[in-house]
């Protein structure tokens, strides 16, 4: 779209348009006024905003929780702004304990390099790598001296650092907080100085660190960055944060059938949140779906299938979305097992049914849930229900395990 | 003295002899066993101990409080050990707030260089500069990188740092503690690694920092240094730490007469402490003096004059000590004012007598003390007592102010 940069009203409208697109799904923008001013300056001078997202090369499998800020970056990119994708090659070796209860291990340089490869390989499913600027903070942080470090340290007080929630929590529980951990938010802030960032994205748990960028930019005489704080995506269980270790995630590299099936496993209550956070469905459309479910003109199951298709569409396109839906309907709705099923690796041999469901196949989150499901006949081996919670089964290759209506896997 | 290094008993005796000399006047040795082992190894292998004392080039006028560890270094030197006199050219720019209630200002490089000159000029009154090794920590700390800094930071926890008394006090009073201040004890500790120090000297308020050297040496695979902790010298008032800002000090560059006069101004109670801490008078002799005072065979005034002479002797020699004593006796005991008096700078003109004594001439520590002295007739201007605490006097050049029997000054 071409804007007449000298026409105040056109500029103002464009600011509003971009602001509405970009603020979608944000928890907080610090602050909105500054953001609008930056957008206005960017539009009226035709200078793209420099939008920073930093990640640690910890080598995790990307899931839709990670995709939330990445998709926000894509919106910036589509609006013509400059995306600075910062890989913490230096800070990643420190490890930030944000939101975790223990000091993280330092990563070796080889690990870091390997992780970056894996990471970008997944990022390109969302962002066009050729259009973004990938930067590595070791490029400038490795050049800093002890004196530089002291200069940075001198700009912050102990009380300020301790105020970060996870630090104060660990200190109050007498758990160790290493001094090196104080450097993480400071160096993250310094990255913003180095990059002259206009905007930095991060999840709510990153808010403290994002604000340190504003502190340092101010002290270094720069315009302060706008902090765009994204909510943390809830996992499939609807309770915990989506994470690989909890198993409640949809990976960006999951197959279309897996993506679709996992979306189908969420509760009806979680649907609206997922529609907002992980799809591009416009707000008005989401409101319409809600209204239709409320007046009974749309079955929740149908709304969820549409959600599943929207998600698959983002990563694999329309055709794949349709195929995944067909697959799901044939397996779950039409009870046809003669299809490709998601595979799990489970040690062969005798195992108690609860252990199989919870510990090995990881289809359920806990023992009590497993007990309930088994007693109600929702647990089946090769389509045969087993209702005895003390029963053992003999796991072998090709065995089909079903837990309830929406989860089915085949032993590899 | 020549020791037969293969004779176990001779070595053991020499260890005891050196230990007794060196432990004199120490508050604490961490720890004594390790110290004896180091002495034994040093004596039996004829390898001098590496003894570190670090100072910040903050350019202060050296007083006898500073002289306490310097004179301890001299004892080490006289016993053949290697004195490493560390000047904190790097750390001095940070400033350590130990024992102070506020973050210190950073010093510029020029200030630091100027201060070193002034400092060494005074140190040579106590130590032979040609025999000691003067080292500057900027020589190695300036070469450290941010990565090195992180490595050091990673070896300490927040709780550990906060446990230092002045930090915890300031934090509990909601006073700011800059993060840079945490680096001070760590870098002081790292200096010990760099110097492979066997012993580090410091005052009690330095204990926390000295122990960090032990931590780091251990982590760097070195034998841990022995920390030799010296008491803080009390000032002439017998209450506060000796310090320039409180005016309760004897400077190493004070004239013999000033030194002597200042010693004479201390309370009888403080005498034993000063005999032990600021002279070389043997313990047995000190005990003898105490006994003689107790049984009335030695007047405390005479014991104090001997103390004054001992102090002057250290810095100016025997002859000067005798002359200072003669001067003091002629001025104070024989009431002869026709001699050189210590001069003070006081603004000329009308001033209340209490303000003159406490705020300007700084002869007394407080208002109530001044009130008492004046009422008792101990305050004299040009040998005329003034007993009215509300009186004003007209200060002019050459005016002689006396406060009690032992303090007399002339207005410059």
Burial of B317 (0-12, 13-18, 19+ CB in 10 A): exposed
**Measuring CA to CA, which residue among A9, A79, A95 is closest to residue A46?**
A79
What do you get for the CA distance between the two ends of chain B, in Å? 52
Q: For residue B75, tell me if it sits in a domain.
A: yes
Given a contact cutoff of 8 angstroms between Cβ atoms, the answer to whether A257 and A342 are in contact is yes
Beta-carbon contacts of residue A21 (< 8 Å; ≥ 6 apart): A75, A79
Structure tokens of A331? 């397996």
Check CB contact under 8 Å for B94 and A183: no
Q: Is residue A249 part of a domain?
A: no
CB contact under 8 A, A94 and B180: no
- Residue B327 near chain A (CB below 8 Å): no
CA distance A106 to chain B (A): 10
**Beta-bridge partner residues of B401:** B381, B409
pLDDT for residue B107:
63
Partner-chain contact B150 A176, CB within 8 Å = no
* Judgement on whether residues B14 and B94 belong to the same structural domain of the protein: yes
Contact assignment for A146 to B150 by CB distance below 8 Å? no
Which pLDDT belongs to residue A198? 97
What does pLDDT average to over chain A? Answer: 87
Which structural domain range is residue A321 located in? 256-333
pLDDT, tens digit (0-9, with 9 covering 90-100), for A333-373: 555 555 567 888 888 888 999 999 988 888 888 888 888 88
Q: How confident is the model at residue A95 (pLDDT cuts 50, 70, 90)?
A: low
Residue B245 falls within a domain, yes or no?
no
Spatial contact of B139 and B133, defined as CB atoms under 8 Å apart? no
Q: Which residues in chain B come in under a pLDDT of 50? A: 96-104
Which residues in chain B touch residue A109, judged by CB atoms under 8 angstroms apart? Answer: none
* Cβ–Cβ < 8 Å for A88, A137: yes
CA A68 to each of CA A127, A147, B139: distance values in angstroms, whole numbers, following the listed order: 12, 38, 49
**How far apart (Å, rounded) are the C-alpha atoms in residues B187 and B141?**
8
Please, what is the Cα angle at B396 between B393 and B402, to 5 degrees? 65
In this structure, the answer to whether residues B98 and B191 fall within a common structural domain is yes
Which among B106, B154, B178 has the least Cβ separation from residue A180?
B154
* In a shared domain, residues A69 and A165: yes
Residue of A nearest to B90 (CA): A147
Q: Are the Cβ atoms of A180 and B142 closer than 8 angstroms? A: no
Within a domain: residue B249?
A: no
Angle at B213 between CA B210 and CA B217, to 5 degrees: 155
- 3-class SS string, chain A: CCCCCCCHHHHHHHHHHHHHHHHCCCCEEECHHHHHHHHHHHHHHCCCCEEEEEECCCCCCCEHHHHHHHHHHHHHHHCCCEEEEEECCCHHHHCCCCCCCCCCCCCCHHHHHHHHHHHHHHHCCCCCCCCCEEEECHHHHCCCEHHHHHHHHCCCEHHHHHCCHHHHHHHHCCCCCECHHHHHHHHHHHHHHHHCCCEEEEEHHHHHHHHHHHHHHHHCCCCCCEEEEECCCECCCCCCECCCCCCCCCECCCCHHHHHHHHHCCCHHHHHHHHHHHCCCCHHHHHHHHHHHHCCCCCHHHHHHHHHHHHHHHHHCHHHHHHHHHHHHHHHHCCCCCCCCCEECCCCEEEEHHHHHHHHCCCCCCHHHHHHHHHCCCEEECCEECCCCCCEEEECCCCEEEECCCEEEEEC
CATH value at residue B353: 3.10.290.10
pLDDT of residue B246: 82
Summarize pLDDT for A142-165 with one digit per residue, the tens. 999 999 999 999 899 998 898 888
d(CA B87, CA A355): 66
Contacts of B142 in chain A (CB under 8 A): 145-147
- Does the structure show a pLDDT above 60 at A264? yes
Confidence of residue A37 (pLDDT cuts 50, 70, 90): very high
Please give the Cα distance from A85 to B210 (Å, whole number): 44
Sheet holding B226-230, edge to edge: B28-30, B226-230, B199-203, B50-55, B82-87, B133-136
Distance in angstroms (rounded) separating the CA atoms of residues A243 and A338:
31
**Residue A272: inside a domain:** yes
Per-residue pLDDT tens over the stretch A101-126: 444 455 677 777 888 888 888 888 88
Q: Do A142 and B144 touch (CB under 8 A)?
A: no
The A residues from 100 to 119 touching B (CB cutoff 8 Å) are: 106
CB B397 within 8 A of CB B412: yes
Question: Do residues B305 and B326 both lie within one domain?
Answer: yes
Q: Check whether A406 has a pLDDT greater than 80.
A: no
Q: Does B355 lie in the same domain as B328?
A: no
A396 and A328 in contact (C-beta within 8 Å)?
no
For residue B149, give how far its alpha carbon lies from the nearest alpha carbon of chain A (Å): 6
Nearest to A300 by CA among A261, A336, A334, A266: A266
* B169, A193 contact by CB (below 8 A): no
Is the model's pLDDT at A298 over the cut of 80? yes
How high is the pLDDT of residue B25? 85
On whether residue B240 sits in a domain, the answer given is: no
Residues B36, B163, single domain; the answer is: yes
The per-residue pLDDT for B135 is: 94
Kindly state whether B167 is in contact with chain A, defined as any CB-CB distance less than 8 angstroms. yes
Contacts 24+ apart (CB under 8 A), A97-103: A97/A166, A97/A170, A97/A177, A97/A181, A97/A184, A98/A164, A98/A166, A98/A184, A98/A205, A98/A206, A98/A208, A98/A209, A99/A166, A99/A205, A100/A166, A101/A166, A101/A170, A101/A175, A102/A175, A103/A176, A103/A177, A103/A178, A103/A181
**CATH classification of the domain holding A296:** 1.10.240.10
Residue A179 to residue B161, Cβ atoms within 8 A: yes
Is the CB of B149 less than 8 angstroms away from the CB of A154?
no
On whether any CB of chain B is under 8 Å from the CB of A129, the answer is: no
Whole-angstrom CA distances from A373 to A269, A301, A410, B360 are: 21, 20, 19, 89
Nearest to A150 among B94, B147, B174 (CB): B94
pLDDT for the residue numbered A24: 86
The answer to whether A144 contacts chain B (CB < 8 Å) is yes
Say whether both B117 and B219 belong to one domain.
yes
List all residues 6 or more positions away from B84 whose beta carbon is below 8 Å from its beta carbon: B50, B51, B52, B53, B132, B133, B135, B195, B197
Does residue B359 share a domain with residue B211?
A: no
Burial of A289 (0-12, 13-18, 19+ CB in 10 A): buried
- Residue in A85, A100, A11 with CA at minimum distance from that of residue A53: A85
CA distance B77 to chain A (A): 33
Tally of domains in chain A: 3
Mind telling me how many Å the CA of B334 is from chain A's nearest CA? 58
- Cα–Cα distance between B44 and B7 in angstroms, integer? 9
Task: Give the side-chain half-sphere CA count within 13 A for A210.
Answer: 25
Q: Does A244 carry a binding-site annotation?
A: yes
Per CB-CB distance under 8 Å, the chain B contacts of A177 are 157-159
Q: Which of A326, A77, A332, A88 is nearest to A199 (CA)?
A: A77
CATH number of domain containing B37: 3.40.50.620
Cα B317 to Cα B311: distance, rounded to the nearest angstrom? 9
* Same domain assignment for residues A28 and A148: yes
**Which one, of B273, B345, B348, B275, lies nearest residue B305 by Cα?**
B275
Q: What angle do CA A344, A346, A348 make, to 5 degrees?
A: 135
Q: Among residues A298, A333, A368, which one ends one of the domains?
A: A333
Neighbouring residues of B132: CB distance < 8 A, sequence distance ≥ 6: B73, B77, B83, B84, B85
Q: Tell whether A46 is within 8 A of chain B (Cβ).
A: no
In the Cβ-directed half-sphere of B39, how many Cα atoms lie within 13 Å? 22
Same domain membership, residue A118 and residue A29: yes
User: B87 forms bridges with which residues in the sheet?
Assistant: B55, B136
Which of A145, A167, A183 lies nearest to residue B150, judging by beta carbons?
A183
Interchain contact B182–A (C-beta under 8 A): yes
Rounded Cα–Cα distance for residues B359 and B377 (Å): 19
Show which of A273, A300, A333 is a domain's final residue: A333
Contact by Cβ (8 Å): B278, B254? no
Nearest Cα neighbor of A293 from A281, A305, A309 is: A305
B177 CB neighbours in chain A (<8 A) are: 157-159
Asked if residue B247 is part of any domain, the answer here is no
Same domain, B211 and B351: no
In-domain check, residue B372: yes
In this structure, chain A runs to a length of: 412
- Distance, first Cα to last Cα, chain A: 52
* Chain B residues with CB-CB distance to A145 below 8 A: 142, 144-146
How close B216 gets to chain A, by Cα (Å)?
14
CB contact under 8 A, B153 and A177: no
Q: Which long-range contacts (CB under 8 A, 24 or more apart) does B177-180 make?
A: B177/A157, B177/A158, B177/A159, B177/B97, B177/B103, B178/A153, B178/A154, B178/A156, B178/A157, B178/A158, B178/B103, B179/A153, B179/A154, B179/A156, B179/A157, B179/A158, B179/A161, B179/A182, B179/A186, B180/A150, B180/A153, B180/A154, B180/B94
Give the model's pLDDT for residue A338.
53
Interface test with A, best of B149, B176, B181, B185 (most A CBs within 10 A): B149
A78 vs A4, higher pLDDT:
A78
Distance from CA of A167 to the nearest CA of B (A): 9
Interface of B with A in 245-274 (CB under 8 A): none
Nearest to A242 by CA among A228, A256, A254: A254
Min Cα–Cα distance to chain B from A244, Å: 28
Say which range, A94-98, A213-217, A320-324, B54-58, has the weakest mean pLDDT.
Answer: A94-98
Of B280, B314, B333, the position where a domain reaches its end is: B333
Closest CA to A265 of A292, A226, A236: A236
User: Are residue A157 and residue A205 in the same domain, yes or no?
Assistant: yes
Which of B106, B146, B161 is closest, CB to CB, to A145? B146
Asked if the Cβ–Cβ distance from A171 to B153 is below 8 Å, we say no
């Amino acid at each position: 779209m071409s804007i007449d940069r000298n026409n105040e009203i056109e500029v103002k409208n464009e600011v509003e348009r971009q602001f509405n697109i970009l603020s979608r799904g944000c928890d907080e923008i610090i602050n909105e006024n500054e953001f609008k001013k930056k957008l206005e300056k960017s539009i009226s001078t035709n200078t793209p905003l420099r939008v920073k997202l930093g990640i640690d090369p910890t080598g995790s499998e990307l899931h839709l929780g990670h995709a939330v800020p990445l998709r926000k970056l894509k919106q910036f990119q589509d609006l013509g702004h400059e995306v600075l994708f910062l890989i913490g090659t230096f800070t990643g070796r420190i490890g930030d304990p944000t939101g975790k209860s223990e000091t993280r291990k330092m990563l070796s340089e080889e690990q870091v390099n390997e992780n970056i490869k894996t990471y970008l390989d997944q990022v390109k499913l969302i962002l066009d790598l050729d259009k973004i600027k990938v930067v590595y903070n070791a490029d400038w942080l490795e050049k800093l001296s002890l004196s530089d470090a002291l200069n940075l340290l001198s700009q912050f007080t102990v009380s300020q650092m301790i105020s970060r929630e996870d630090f104060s929590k660990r200190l109050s529980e007498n758990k160790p907080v290493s001094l090196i951990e104080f450097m993480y938010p400071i160096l993250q802030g310094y990255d913003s100085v180095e990059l002259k960032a206009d905007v930095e994205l991060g999840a709510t748990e990153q808010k403290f660190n994002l604000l340190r960028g504003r502190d340092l930019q101010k002290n270094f005489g720069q315009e302060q960055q706008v902090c765009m704080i994204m909510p943390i995506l809830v996992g499939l269980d609807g309770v915990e944060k989506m994470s690989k270790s909890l198993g409640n995630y949809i990976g960006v590299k999951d197959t279309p059938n897996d993506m679709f099936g996992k979306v189908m496993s969420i509760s009806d209550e979680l649907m609206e949140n997922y529609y907002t956070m992980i799809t591009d469905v416009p707000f008005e459309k989401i409101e319409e779906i809600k209204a239709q479910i409320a007046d009974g003109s749309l079955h929740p199951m149908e709304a969820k299938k549409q959600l599943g298709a929207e998600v698959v569409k983002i990563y694999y396109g329309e055709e794949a979305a349709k195929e995944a839906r067909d697959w799901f309907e044939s397996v779950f709705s039409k009870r046809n097992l003669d299809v490709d099923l998601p595979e799990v690796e489970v040690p062969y041999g005798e195992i108690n049914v609860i252990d199989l469901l919870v510990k090995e196949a990881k289809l359920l989150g806990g023992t009590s849930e497993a007990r309930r499901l088994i007693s109600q006949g929702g647990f089946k081996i090769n389509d045969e229900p087993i209702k005895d919670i003390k029963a053992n089964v003999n796991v072998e290759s090709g065995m089909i395990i079903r837990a309830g209506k929406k989860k089915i896997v085949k032993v590899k």
